[in-house]
Each structure stands twice: as C-alpha cells, then as structure tokens.
Amino acid sequence: MARKSPNRGGTAQLTAPAEQDADPATDETSTTTDATSTATDATSTATRDTETEASGNYYPGKRFGLPERGPGSVSSMPRRVVALFIDWLLSMVIAYWLTHSQFWTIAVFAVEVYVLTALTGCTVGKRLVGIRAIRIGGGQIGFGWALVRTAILLTVVPPLLTDRDLRGLHDRASDTIVVCI
C-alpha cells in the first residue's frame, strides 16, 4: 500500500512502500523498480552519447565501431554526391545509346544501382570515388535489401535526411552505411 509523505512544499506525495514490507510472492514493486531502472539506464546511455557528441569526441560511425578516418570510415557527403552524378551521367549515356532517348535514364539508373549494390556494394560512381555501401552487421547487401535501398533512393528526398552517422533513410531502412574503401 502506498503512503503519503510530505514534500518541501508541504503537500502530500505518494511514495512506494519499502521492499522489506512487501510480500515477495505478490510484489509488483520490484517489477516497477526494474522497469524504472531500465528506463533510467537507457536515459543515462542517451545522455552519455549526447555528452560525448557535444564534447567533440563523437564522429560519424563511432557507434558502429568504424574508424574516424581512412579505409572503413564513413564517407563524406561530397564524395557521395560526386558518385551519384557519375552514376547519373553514365545512365544518361547508356539510355541514349540504347534508345536514342533520355527518357529511360531513370530506369537504367535504377537497374545499375540495384544490381551493382546487391552484388558488390559499389556502383561505377562509388568505385571511382572510393566508397561502397556495406551492411552494418557484416556480409553482402543482397538483392532484397538492395531493392529496398534503391526504391527509397529513387524518391530523392529520403537520402538527404541523414542522421549523425550520415546515414540517409535508405541506409537506415536497409541497415547499411557508406564507407571509404
């Protein structure tokens, strides 16, 4: 049973009974305490991450165990944009060569990105600028996740919405990250 105790303002406040007063067989207080401590742990972890980021010790990819610079580090946005333009220009050339129309550029681009990302993690543009997409847990991206990633990439805006690790919505949905090679 909860008791009322006065707080500084003189008003009563509900407090939980001491654990020695509760019957262990029917104790719901420990469950509440466990849930509260779990929430407190999650809050302190989030606070610690925020403090680390604010103190200047955080860099993109740190929480995934990636290095700050060099091979395996998170790729910068300018490199990704250059890779995207290279892939788009290549798709325009291929579309025009195949159909004598640039109307099919988006289809050629989609096929290129989908197939090459699924098989190697690199498109032609990514290979030329030295970056590739990898799965967070390791292993190849595969055709299923590459399809998800490509479909979201084609909508244009979600890849621009990045988190602190420079992962766009298409990367978060497919559990991938773009790193330097």
**Residue 117 and residue 53 share a domain:** no
Last residue of a domain, one of 58, 74, 107: 58
Q: Is 56 helix (H, G, I), strand (E, B) or coil?
A: coil
How many domains are there within the chain? Answer: 2
Quote the Cα angle for 79-63-121, to 5°.
40
**Residue 74 and residue 155 share a domain:** yes
CA 126, 61, 118, 171 dihedral sign is negative
Residues of the domain holding 34: 23-58
**Residue 68 and residue 155 share a domain:** yes
**Residue 69 and residue 38 share a domain:** no
Task: Look at residue 53 in the predicted model and tell me its pLDDT.
Answer: 55
Cα–Cα distance for residue pair 74/120, rounded to 1 Å: 17
Q: Token pair of 34, please?
A: 């466990």
pLDDT tens digit string along 49-89? 554 555 578 899 999 999 999 999 999 999 999 999 999 99
Residue 7 lies in a domain: no
pLDDT tens digit string along 90-129? 999 999 999 999 899 999 999 999 999 999 999 999 999 9
Give whole-number Cα distances, 169 to 110, 155, 157, in Å.
Answer: 17, 11, 9
Residue 72 lies in a domain: yes
Residue 3 lies in a domain: no
All residues at 6 or more sequence positions from 18 whose CB lies less than 8 Å from its CB, including other chains: none
Containing H/E element for 49?
helix 29-54
Task: Look at residue 45 in the predicted model and tell me its pLDDT.
Answer: 44
**Residue 106 and residue 85 share a domain:** yes
**Residue 45 and residue 93 share a domain:** no
Cα–Cα distance for residue pair 176/172, rounded to 1 Å: 6
Would you say residue 43 has pLDDT above 50?
A: no
